[in-house]
Amino acid sequence: MECSRLNLLVTVISCLAVLALPILVTGCGGNGDDDDDSISGNVVTPDSDPVSEPTPQPEVQPEPEPLPQPDPAPAVSFQADILPILQASCAVQGCHADLNPRVGLNLETYAGFEKGSRGGPVFNPGDSKGSKVVQRIDGGGMPPGAPLDKAQIQLFKDWIDEGAKNN
């Protein structure tokens, strides 16, 4: 009976050894390759990157809204561009100047030009095509004897289309 107990004990130990061997081999970290660079001395490094938390992405900041841009400065100035033409060609003695200007239109100042003639306003801010002054000077009839050149007429059109400001 002692023999059967001994046989049983040897059988159990053998089975345990057979089962434990793969666990021991797997636990060493080796994969059987002799060229494995991941083993250095007693230190075992894993073959692949360890599982890690995903890298947090920086928060995307919304683009700031652009600051409102001021309206561009008018390209044509009444004081610097239009008034000198009026004074040289229109607001002269016997035409559109003095106390009794022709058709009631005094072109010596912005206020007189803006007031218009006895027939009403002579320019419509923002609408050079619908403005009487442009129709008169672009048709070649005004001023009589010395019509304005194309560049001067264009200044009047641009000034009116830009809003006809007293600038």
For 46-89, write each residue's pLDDT tens digit: 555 556 677 777 787 888 888 887 766 669 999 999 999 999 99
The mean-pLDDT minimum among 46-55, 100-109, 119-128, 158-167 falls in 46-55
Closest CA to 123 of 88, 78, 93, 92: 78
Q: Which two tokens stand for residue 47?
A: 């073959």
- pLDDT number for residue 55: 76
- pLDDT number for residue 16: 66
Is the Cβ–Cβ distance between 82 and 76 less than 8 Å? yes
Q: How confident is the model at residue 90 (pLDDT cuts 50, 70, 90)?
A: very high
Based on the number of CB atoms within 10 Å of its own CB, is 102 exposed (0-12), middle (13-18) or buried (19 or more)?
A: middle
Q: How confident is the model at residue 158 (pLDDT cuts 50, 70, 90)?
A: very high
- pTM, entire model: 0.57
In the chain, what are the domain boundaries?
78-161
Whole-number Å distance between alpha carbons of 143 and 157: 16
What are 18-41's pLDDT values in tens digits? 666 566 666 655 555 555 444 445
SS3 104: helix
Kindly tell me if the per-residue pLDDT of 166 is higher than 90: yes
Whole-number Å distance between alpha carbons of 29 and 20: 15
Closest CA to 77 of 149, 165, 9: 165
Q: Which two tokens stand for residue 59?
A: 């928060």
SS3 71: coil
Whole-number Å distance between alpha carbons of 73 and 167: 10
